[in-house]
Structure 1
Amino acid sequence: MSLEYLFERLARLEQRIRDAVESRRAADPNPDDPFRGLYLSNETIDALLEGHREPFPPFTDSVPDGRLHPLAQRVGLTGVDIELLLVALAPDLDSRFEQFYGYLNDDVTRRRATAGLALRLCGVSEASAAGRARLDADAPLITCGLLTMEDEERPFLSRTLRVPDRVVNHLLGDDRLAPELAGCARLGTRVTDVAGTDRLARAIRGQVGLVYLKEHPGGGAEELGVAALTGAGFPALVVDAARWQAESGQGELIGSLVREALLRGAGLVLGPVDDWPRLEKLAHPAVPLIVHGTGAWDPRWSAIPPLQLDALPLSVAGRVALWRSHLDGGLAPDVDPGEATAHFVLGPGQIARAAKAASVTALADGGPVRTSHLRAGARSQNAAGLQRLARRIEPAVGWSDLVLPAGVLSLLDELAARARYRDQVLDEWRMRPGGGRGRGVTGLFAGDSGTGKTMSAEVIAASLGLDLYTVNLATVVDKYVGETEKNLERIFTEAAGVNGVLLFDEADAIFGKRSEVRDAHDRYANIESAYLLQRMETFDGIAVLATNLRANLDEAFTRRLDVIVDFPLPDVELRRQLWDRCLGARMPRAGDLDLGFLAEAFELAGGHIRSAAVTGAYLAAEAGRPVAMTDLVGAVAREYRKLGRLCLDREFGPYLAMVTEG
């Protein structure tokens, strides 16, 4: 219908041009001149001086149809605007109009309509101020990017009119995005109805033009904006703010975004924003604008006050329903997606992508989607920013690999349970404390080196299906005042968007006690500690602080910790189990191994036992035989030397000779 109407209007314009050509020929002093349009003769100048050029009668029917009709309504085009647009559009739809316009312009090189010719063809005098105003810089045709005027160095009436290719293609039925927007914009797809969709859709239908959504972790502000626009009858054009602001020709992109939204009758969803976006230039009465970010609205962003709403996380039931809908029956019967992913903080869009990743992995494994697939898909949504600040570890150990006292294991299990059930306790049961505190789960692991602190953090991450991120102190501590706090802020900010366990090893280096201020160094050290105390209050992730020197930590930190686990040195029975576990089931063992003696004689932590077992394995491999007592005793002696301990007779007993010979 749109194309039929356009070409019907083009036929009417062609008839108007026929009349113009006949009128031109009737007054032409040299109708047979073969060089017409290449020069001006004396006779032609005389004829121009003697004649008086009148506009043609205006069109009586200026009601557009097809795609042109809704576009004209959204932009606010008058009948004259529509006729001007059609005159400028004609050469892009029918190449004959190039010759027509070249003839009427009396210049074969100028094959598009000029402003003066377009006004005359529309029945408007060239001297009409109202008519010329329809082509001014602030006119709807120009500001909305539907028409451009070229040759600005020429007088107004001889400037060329051009319709951008994107507008031409849209009127011809092409629904592809403008090429210049491909890197920063896409068409939004409604994933689900997020909490608050109906309220926001009602506001948009009520002509609320600017909305700001503050996104909470797992909130899905973008999905909320898309769902609300769709519910209000608008397609959604989603704009990546970071890519948009990084583009060099941002001013031109703003015009393209507004024009694209007007062509489609769409609303804009822009975000996440964290600095001063150019919202004023994106404002248009016919284009609802939804901006989202993680911070508070900044009044500098726009003189128009927005409707401010919170994009809250999905409920447990909502998450489960979303997982099941995207998995589309591919879930194993015994798998509960709510239980498997309860501790993951994911928005609706992230769940959709995670479900797709889980389905693909399950397809490769040749079976239904299981818990491991769900958790791997959820982890695939982690941003890579934290990996630049911390070392990512994929857990490869489980609870069975820990050799610790029952009391320690119980506390570790409690820490994992807090992470697993915090949505139920803090959200459903409303046990969240006030004061703007976060939803984070934090634990302190204190004990001597080698007692299993780091391995325990890895086990907790594995039990939750999360990755472990070990903070590198070299990327945090800085000698310049204030830089350490900035580095920590970057880590906490990145960690808030990652489903993982954050491990601060050697935590006493940055979470140390505040001291009496004796000089400027003490003052700034105390400021650093005070900042950390405040930041830990608002942290929403899972963090473990590991230290060998618990006494060096500020007491104010311990109040903010959920679980404190003291890792003792293993007793004899635990050491025997550690020796057996570290040697493993695949290493061949000689008949003279006496693990009881090793556990009884040598008071070593688990990490040192592990190191000695590995050294003994290398010695046995070099000798080409199963690992024997000689290898392990020699390995213990080497470990003693690393620790700076003496090899005493009473400890090595009958095996001292092996040490001496080694």
Structure 2
Amino acid sequence: MNTGSLPHLFTRLAALERRIRTAVAARRGADHNPDDPFRGLYLSDEAIDALLATRREPFVPFQASVASGRLGGLAETAGLTGLDVELLLVALAPDVDSRFEQFYGYLNDDVTRRRATAGLALRLCGLPEASAAGRARLDPASPLRSAGLLVVDDRERPFLSRSLRVPDRVVSHLLGDDLLDAALAGVARVVDDVAAADVGRLGRALRARVKLLYLRERPGGGAAEMAAAALRDAGFAVLEVDAARLRAEPDQQALTAAVRREAVLRHAGVVLGPVEEEPPLAALTHPTIPLVVFGPNVWDPRWSTDPPLPHDASPLPVADRAELWRAGLDGSLAPEVDPAAATAHFVLGPGQIARAARAASVSALVDGGVVTTEHLRAGARSQNAAGLHRLARRIEPAVDWHDLVLPAGVVGLLHELASRARHRDRVIDEWRMRPGGGRGRGVTGLFAGDSGTGKTMSAEVIAASLGLDLYTVNLATVVDKYIGETEKNLERIFTEAAGVNGVLLFDEADAIFGKRSEVRDAHDRYANIESAYLLQRMETFDGIAVLATNLRANLDEAFTRRLDVVVDFPVPDEPLRRLLWDRCLGVTAPRVEVDLDFLASAFELAGGHIRSAAVTAAYLAAEAGGPVGMAEVVGAVAREYRKLGRLVGEREFGRYLELAMTSTTR
């Protein structure tokens, strides 16, 4: 709490008290019945005669002087005149010295009216009650009231008998209290720890007194941090307001007024965002306070009659992000770990990096205190927005490249997809290999193949190699029979995915990405619209997306042209099937005399079906209380055949047919 300016405030109130003493003496000199015990409760005939015989004159005017301390700073920020300051002091006095309540009750000739009325305040400032210039200083558009520094109560009364009140937050500020208004808890915060940044154009604009700016935020752009740094560079404090929480509050009007008042009190610029709908700009705007708005979309001219200064908040270069990581970790990084290489594919803003670094440091405390690559990536993942969890299933990868059993060419393409994600900053941003066209920075791949050939597992491996989570979306569940709803569902997914560092897997992609056909009816027309919308949205997506389909032939050529990598997953051949059986049966579960060569040659199953059969065999062995043997494996394969609608015959099962039949009849 800063109380350094209190002596000046008390000096000004003492001067007001001297004028009130003069006013009380004048009032007492004209009192015809000073001993009346019911003073203020009624009007006697003598009092009426005195009122008729005289005019109500102003009291001794104040001597204009320059305010200093917090009062002077507030006067400068809010654009107050000397008269405004004096009116503020008249209204403030009862909140600082309770004697003024009795003073005002006496001067109001009403012991129940313990605050200065508009008429009394004007007269104490030496102005006639009918002074148009004086009354204008109490108008709703006046600096005192537009900034929320003064409230005029009793709207049902005539203007001159309305009470003047100073809000508690203004009183506490002038008395040295720096706490944020309690009404703004959860909606706004004062930003003190502003990271140093090259604010460039924004800083110049704010120093030139530009009052409205709009930052279009790209993923990882750090618009809020950029705005805060620019405001601090221009000499303003920073008040950051959560636009979503402000909009959700039932009494939004009162809160916006409180935000505007808090900004004036602190000489702060307001940072508002992220905005996607029309924000309450008019209610937040003040002539002396800059307003910096940020959001993911372009500025809508309907939001304000005054055009803002537009600016794009782009992601930080990799080197700058690495420097922020090092600064946030404060020397606890393992010597062999390069934060730039470990987190190059994570798109995070400055504030997110600072929070992620703290999360990584906390995790490292449990493991010896040294931050490793795994800690860095876990900290980065902790900054993922939670909204996508409601729209997609999150998978924490638990596999790596060694778990894949695929042809070498397929594995090579998967490595290429991961490499694109890892090096896109250098190729797209530094080398500018994708100029123009409005395309995003995203990496997209298509996994095509029969069910069980390893598409989902491969996406999980790619996510694991990048240190990301995998989010799976079944596009078949996104399609809605009502016109326009499918596009809305997709937009929600892409919007939420923009705030997530993860791999987005769209399953059943052919549900929407099917070939556009000739329009024969309304259904064809709207199906084509859905496909066209998703094609366009995929091009502007900045994340990592993988689409999986069982039917590549059904996909539109315009879609496949926009993909970075297309991977065809074949049904495994005999050598791969043998390796799959060996991997899926594992080394932990006990097994005896399992003929892997026979299983690989006899049963043409995809990897997913082999894994399912291996798990079933383990359950059969657990129930029998013994190890996994051919009886359990063959029985599990027979069950898998029945699920696939295949016949269990001697052609495939050969000498193990009886085991299969016996197992399935238990």
Secondary structure at the counterpart of residue 304 of structure 1: coil
Cα shift at 1:482: 2.2
Equivalents in 2 of 1:191, 1:453: separation in Å? 45
Contact 1:451 1:607 in 2 (8 A): yes
Equivalents in 2 of 1:51, 1:524: separation in Å? 83
Cα shift at 1:344: 0.8
Cα shift at 1:433: 3.9
Equivalents in 1 of 2:48, 2:522: separation in Å? 88
Per-residue deviation, residues 506-546 of structure 1 (Å, max 9, x unmatched): 21121111122222222222222222222222111111111
Residue 176, structure 1, aligned to residue 179, structure 2? yes
Counterpart of 2:653 in structure 1: which amino acid?
F
Q: Which of residues 202, 218, 221 is equivalent to 1:219?
A: 221
Equivalents in 1 of 2:134, 2:533: separation in Å? 64
Q: In terms of mean alpha carbon deviation, does 303-312 or 34-43 score higher?
A: 34-43
Q: Which of residues 201, 204, 208 is equivalent to 2:203?
A: 201
Secondary structure at the counterpart of residue 528 of structure 2: helix
Contact 2:136 2:142 in 1 (8 A): yes
Q: Which of residues 24, 28, 49 is equivalent to 1:25?
A: 28
Contact 2:147 2:286 in 1 (8 A): no
Q: How does 1:484-633 map to 2 (within 5 A)?
A: 484-590=486-592, 592-633=593-634
Counterpart of 1:138 in structure 2: which amino acid?
A
Q: Which of residues 298, 301, 311 is equivalent to 2:300?
A: 298
Q: How does 1:246-257 map to 2 (within 5 A)?
A: 246-257=248-259
- Alignment-derived partner of residue 109 in structure 1: 112
Cα shift at 1:563: 1.0
Contact 2:473 2:504 in 1 (8 A): yes
Counterpart of 2:323 in structure 1: which amino acid?
A
Equivalents in 1 of 2:544, 2:322: separation in Å? 22
- Alignment-derived partner of residue 127 in structure 1: 130
Cα shift at 1:190: 4.4
Contact 1:191 1:348 in 2 (8 A): no
Contact 1:198 1:231 in 2 (8 A): no
Equivalents in 1 of 2:110, 2:194: separation in Å? 56
Paired residues, what number?
660
Q: In terms of mean alpha carbon deviation, does 274-283 or 500-509 score higher?
A: 274-283
- Alignment-derived partner of residue 17 in structure 2: 14
Secondary structure at the counterpart of residue 519 of structure 2: coil
Residue 416, structure 1, aligned to residue 418, structure 2? yes
Per-residue deviation, residues 351-410 of structure 1 (Å, max 9, x unmatched): 111111111111133331111111111111111111111111111111111111111111
Counterpart of 1:131 in structure 2: which amino acid?
G
Counterpart of 1:219 in structure 2: which amino acid?
G
- Alignment-derived partner of residue 340 in structure 2: 338
Equivalents in 2 of 1:639, 1:142: separation in Å? 77
Q: 1:409 to 1:5 in 2, by over 3 A?
A: same
- Alignment-derived partner of residue 275 in structure 2: 273
Cα shift at 1:194: 4.1
Equivalents in 2 of 1:79, 1:45: separation in Å? 35
- Structure 1 runs (4+) deviating above 6 angstroms are none
Q: In terms of mean alpha carbon deviation, does 152-161 or 472-481 score higher?
A: 472-481
Secondary structure at the counterpart of residue 215 of structure 2: strand
Q: Which runs of 5+ in 2 are unaligned?
A: none
Equivalents in 1 of 2:242, 2:214: separation in Å? 15
- Alignment-derived partner of residue 323 in structure 1: 325
- Alignment-derived partner of residue 166 in structure 1: 169
Equivalents in 2 of 1:515, 1:615: separation in Å? 43
TM-score of the two chains, using structure 2 as the length reference: 0.97
Equivalents in 2 of 1:443, 1:133: separation in Å? 67
Contact 1:62 1:83 in 2 (8 A): no
Q: Which of residues 76, 80, 87 is equivalent to 1:77?
A: 80
Counterpart of 1:88 in structure 2: which amino acid?
A
Identity %: 75
TM-score of the two chains, using structure 1 as the length reference: 0.97
Cα shift at 1:348: 0.8
Q: 1:116 to 1:93 in 2, by over 3 A?
A: same
Contact 2:474 2:508 in 1 (8 A): no
Q: Which of residues 146, 163, 175 is equivalent to 1:143?
A: 146
Secondary structure at the counterpart of residue 93 of structure 2: helix
Secondary structure at the counterpart of residue 315 of structure 2: coil
Equivalents in 2 of 1:194, 1:10: separation in Å? 44
- Alignment-derived partner of residue 233 in structure 1: 235
Counterpart of 1:492 in structure 2: which amino acid?
F
Q: Which runs of 5+ in 1 are unaligned?
A: none
Counterpart of 2:389 in structure 1: which amino acid?
Q
Secondary structure at the counterpart of residue 253 of structure 2: helix
Contact 2:19 2:60 in 1 (8 A): no
Equivalents in 2 of 1:187, 1:333: separation in Å? 36
Q: In terms of mean alpha carbon deviation, does 40-49 or 599-608 score higher?
A: 40-49
Equivalents in 1 of 2:6, 2:147: separation in Å? 22
Cα shift at 1:229: 0.3
Q: What RMSD over aligned residues (CA atoms) do the two structures have, in Å?
A: 1.5
Cα shift at 1:470: 0.8
Q: How does 1:49-60 map to 2 (within 5 A)?
A: 49-60=52-63
Residue 653, structure 1, aligned to residue 654, structure 2? yes
Contact 1:640 1:646 in 2 (8 A): yes
Equivalents in 2 of 1:86, 1:482: separation in Å? 59
Contact 2:22 2:60 in 1 (8 A): no
Equivalents in 1 of 2:527, 2:41: separation in Å? 82
Q: Which of residues 348, 352, 368 is equivalent to 2:354?
A: 352
Secondary structure at the counterpart of residue 514 of structure 2: coil
Contact 1:391 1:472 in 2 (8 A): no
